[in-house]
Amino acid sequence: MDERDKPGQVLGVGIVGYGRLGRALHRLIDHGRSRAAVLIWNRTRINVPGWTSIHQLAQQAEVILLCIPSFALRQLLETLKPALRSSTVLVSFAKGIEHTSGQTVDQVFATVVPTQPFALVGGPMLAEELVAGRQGIAVVGTHDPTIYLKLVYLFDGTELLLEPSGDPRAVSLAGVLKNVYALAVGISYGVGCQPGECQNFRQRALQEMLAVGQHLRLPTSTINGPAGVGDFMTTSSSPLSRNRRAGERLGQDGSLDREAESIASFPHLIALVGELAAFPILRATSQAVMHGQSVGRAFAAVLPGAGQSGDKNPSRS
């Protein structure tokens, strides 16, 4: 990055949530060129370098990276809000719909911290691959282009490449869709279909995801880009993806990983889509996830061999 293009030295970066993604982003920043000072808050201090209180982090950080799931976002924002400076940028990597309110991540920001600058980041950036030095691509959805420039500066010299988007809601919904369809692909592997059948099903899932995106009037550039197709291709093909693994478990033994973003977001996505007749894979997945139908019965019409997977009902425990 040319010196003239840099938005200014990042004085402090906060990372909230030090799971796989939080650790991966910390590593990127440490190995990049920004020389940012990193503060970290996590629920526990065990194996967390640079841990600080949430209040101190909110006061000192110029950019706060929120590496937490969507169901925890509202409470976290309420906690941060009293100590935030008006200029502090909040950046969320969550890809879900809040279970209690049905709000997308951008709507949660608008409700809880309406005057705070924020961005949503989506794209194929599995934490394990970033840690291994493999390249990740992400879309920064924000109404303020200076936030995009600040994040480009923050990750300058790292394996994470960033693209801008002026539509954070579209970035948010693209992430929801890719999670749900990665879940469906995981189900196909879980029921034990042959590799060729799984690949064909994955291609059909991608085409249906694009059709749902069009139905929801998402910009073609967003759903076809890294936040949509790119993230789906990575997530649905990687056994490291929690949503892919959640689908495999559902297909294998009927159990539900209720903390997987795909499953938590499902009822509200279905409400947004409405009539499902044109989207058979989404309809089949909803029958298994929301209505307790066995995967074999739900997927019999869309996945060859699914009917032989047994009559396993999702666990509600």
Question: Looking at the annotation, which residues are catalytic?
Answer: 178
Q: Which long-range contacts (CB under 8 A, 24 or more apart) does 257-260 make?
A: 259/69, 259/71, 260/179, 260/183
User: Which one, of 298, 300, 296, 293, lies nearest residue 316 by Cα?
Assistant: 293
Structural element, H or E, at residue 112 = helix 105-112
Per DSSP bridges, beta strands 89-92 and 136-141 are unpaired
Q: Could you give the CA distance from residue 213 to residue 218 in angstroms, rounded to a whole number?
A: 5
Structural element, H or E, at residue 267 = helix 261-273
Q: Could you give the CA distance from residue 165 to residue 40 in angstroms, rounded to a whole number?
A: 27
Please tell me whether residue 28 adopts helix, strand or coil conformation. helix
Q: Could you give the CA distance from residue 293 to residue 316 in angstroms, rounded to a whole number?
A: 12
Residues belonging to the chain: 317
Structural element, H or E, at residue 14 = strand 13-16
Find out whether 78 and 38 touch, Cβ atoms under 8 Å: no
Strand partners, 64: 14, 90
φ/ψ of 166, rounded to 5, equals -90, 10
Q: Could you give the CA distance from residue 24 to residue 9 in angstroms, rounded to a whole number?
A: 22
Find out whether 245 and 229 touch, Cβ atoms under 8 Å: no
